[in-house]
Amino acid sequence: MIKKSFIFLEKVGSTKEQSIWKQGIADWHDFLNVKSVNGISQQKKQYYNRKLREAQHALREENPSHFIHKLPKKEMWRLYDYFREEVGYVDIEVDSYGKIVLIGISNYYNSNFFVKGVNLESTNIENELQKYKLIVTYNGHSFDIPKIQKELKINIKVPHIDLKPLCVNLGLKGGLKEIEKKLNLKRPQNLYGNPVDLWKAFHASGDREYLELLIAYNGEDCENLKSVMNKVYTILSKRIGKISKKKKKIFGESKKSFFSYGRGKRLCCRHSK
C-alpha cells in the first residue's frame, strides 16, 4: 500500500491523491514513468519525482522512519503490509494508581512480557522495541506510548500505528474488547476480567497464579491487536483499491513471504510456553 501512496508528498492531501489515482497512476512507478500529471506543474512533478525516489531508497534500506512527519498519523497504516513481519504489538497494564505494572510486546511468532519488580526496566524495553520497524497499539497515542515514555524515561522513535482512530473511522467505536466483539474475535472467558484486580490480588497475596493470569490477559490483547490490524488494513486498502482501479493485477508488497504463525510466548524473556 505504501507504494501506491502519494499523501506523504508536500501539499498532497487526500483529494489530490485521489486525482492522481483517477488518472490511472496507481503507484510510484507509474508516476515516475509519466511525463505529466494533471493538476501538477512540471516543476512540481520533478520535485515529487525526487521525493518518490527518496522514498524508494528508504524502503530498500528498510527505513520506515523516513515517513515519520511525512505520512499523517492516521495514514501510518499504509506502511503495514511492507513491514508486517517486523511489527511489534504493544499493550500495557496498569495498577489502581495508573502506574505501569506490565508491558507486553509481541510479533507474529512470540510474545515477551516485562513485569514490574522482575524485568520492567527502561533498557529492556528500549532494546525490545528497537527490534521492530513498526509498532501497533490500540489507543497508544493517548495512553500506552506516553505512559511508557514518561514512566520509563525513554524516547520511542519507532513509527507507530494506533488502531483506535482507524477503527473509529470505520464506524467501530469502543475499547479493544468492544472492537473484538464487533469483529467476532474470540478470547477465553477467563480473560475478560479486570487486569487491575489481578495485579492487586497478586501484589497482596504473592500468588503467582494471579500474575500468570494477568500475563495471559495481556498476551490475548496482543494477539487480538494482530487480528484487528489485519482486518482494518484489509478494509482500508480495499477502499483505496476501489478508487485507484489499477488495470494490471496487484501483488502483495511484503518483501518476505508471510507464513502462518504460532502463539509462542516468553515470560520475562526467558520462559517459553
CATH number of the domain at 25, please. Answer: 1.10.150
- Alpha-carbon distance 151 to 146, whole Å? 8
253 has a pLDDT exceeding 70: no
Q: What is the pLDDT of residues 97-108, one digit of tens each?
A: 999 999 999 998
105 with 226, same domain? yes
141 with 195, same domain? yes
pLDDT value at residue 273: 36
Number of domains in the chain: 2
Neighbours of 89 (CB within 10 A): 26
107 with 198, same domain? yes
- Is residue 75, in this structure, part of any structural domain at all? no
Q: Pairing relation of β-strands 271-272 and 160-162?
A: unpaired
Q: What is the pLDDT of residues 19-48, one digit of tens each?
A: 999 999 999 999 999 999 999 999 999 999
pTM over cut 0.75? yes
Q: Which domain holds residue 55?
A: 2-61
Mean pLDDT of 121-149: 97
38 alpha-carbon distance from chain centroid: 34
C-alpha cell at 93: 497494564
Quote the mean pLDDT of the chain: 89
- Alpha-carbon distance 151 to 120, whole Å? 11
- Is residue 271, in this structure, part of any structural domain at all? no
Locus of grid cell 505520512: 71
C-alpha cell at 256: 518476505
48 with 91, same domain? no
Percent of the chain at pLDDT exceeding 70: 89
pLDDT value at residue 268: 46
Helical (H) or strand (E) element with 105? strand 100-106
Percent of the chain at pLDDT exceeding 90: 82
Is residue 1 within 8 Å of 253, Cβ to Cβ?
Answer: yes
152 with 190, same domain? yes
Neighbour-count burial of 257, counting CB atoms closer than 10 A to its CB (0-12 exposed, 13-18 middle, 19+ buried) = exposed
132 alpha-carbon distance from chain centroid: 10
Mean pLDDT of 177-190: 90
